[in-house]
Amino acid sequence: MNDRTPTEVLANGAIRYGIYDSAGVLLRYEYIKPEDAPTQDGTALNKANLLKDVTAALYGLGTGAVPNDVFALIKPLLDSKAKIATGSYIGTGTYGVSTPNSLTLSFTPKLAFVASNTTFGIFANNFPKALLFRSTTTAFSTDPVVTWSVSSLSWYDAGSPVFQLSESGKTYNYVVLG
């Protein structure tokens, strides 16, 4: 971006303006500057504060770039970055196809981990089953049925709230990557 580069400035900083009549005829010049005795000038809206050349260069932009050019480049970069959601829920004791567990997300899930202090489940991108481990046994389960969507992940187990990760009153923490 380019700062305005005046040439008609007085030594006291007053800058030249033209006074015109309604016909567009220049009547005279006046030199003015703020005299409002501010306690602070405020941040200058200029190249040094809005978009330095060195910053523009970080995005492959030239010295004529404006902040909007950078914003336009940032959006696809943000969209392409990995996303993560974390949280927890309390199990309700329900299970089965009619009462699945569900996580609603602001992105498309690709990988999820859900764990209580006794059960740990892994959900992998578009795989229709979850892999569950229990701390009380070396056995594992692949019974839970998983449904993936653009902005959610849901699953159920037909036989037990334990394998649906929904034991009543138990806290489950999750991490979802997208």
Partner 1 sequence: MSVIDTLVTDRVNGVKYNYSDMNRVESAFVYLQAKMNGEFGFNLSLTIKTNWVRNDLGQVGAQALMEQYRQNVVAIRGAITQMAETPSAPASMRFLDWAKANDIEKILQDVEWLLNRMPFAFRHSGATISGQRGLIR
Which spans of this chain sit near partner 1 (rule: CB under 8 A)?
2-7, 9, 13-15, 17, 32-34, 41-49, 51-54, 56-57, 63
Let me know how long the chain is: 178
Q: Which is nearer to partner 1, 1 or 85 (CB)?
A: 1
Q: Is residue 174 helix, strand or coil? A: strand
Smallest gap from Cβ 75 to partner 1, in A, equals 21
Residue placing its CB nearer to partner 1 in the complex, 61 or 111? 61
* Least gap, CB of 53 to partner 1 (angstroms): 3
In whole angstroms, how close is the CB of 24 to partner 1 at the nearest point? 15
- Map tokens 């764990």 to a residue: 115
Identify the three-state secondary structure at position 148: strand
Distance separating alpha carbons of residues 54 and 116, to the nearest angstrom: 49
Smallest separation (angstroms) from partner 1 to the CB of 52: 4
Instruction: Supply the minimum distance, in Å, between the C-beta of residue 32 and partner 1.
Output: 7
Question: How far apart are the C-alpha atoms of 19 and 15, rounded to whole Å?
Answer: 13
Q: Round to whole Å and give the CA distance between 112 and 177.
A: 6
User: Which residues neighbour 130 within 8 Å (Cβ) at sequence distance 6 or greater?
Assistant: 121, 122, 123, 142, 144, 146, 155
Identify which of residues 60 and 169 has a Cβ nearer to partner 1 in the complex: 60
Nearest residue (CB) to partner 1, 14 versus 122: 14
Cα separation, 23 vs 32, whole angstroms: 23
Order of all β-strands in the sheet with 152-156: 101-104, 152-156, 145-148
Would you say 2 or 138 has its CB closer to partner 1?
2
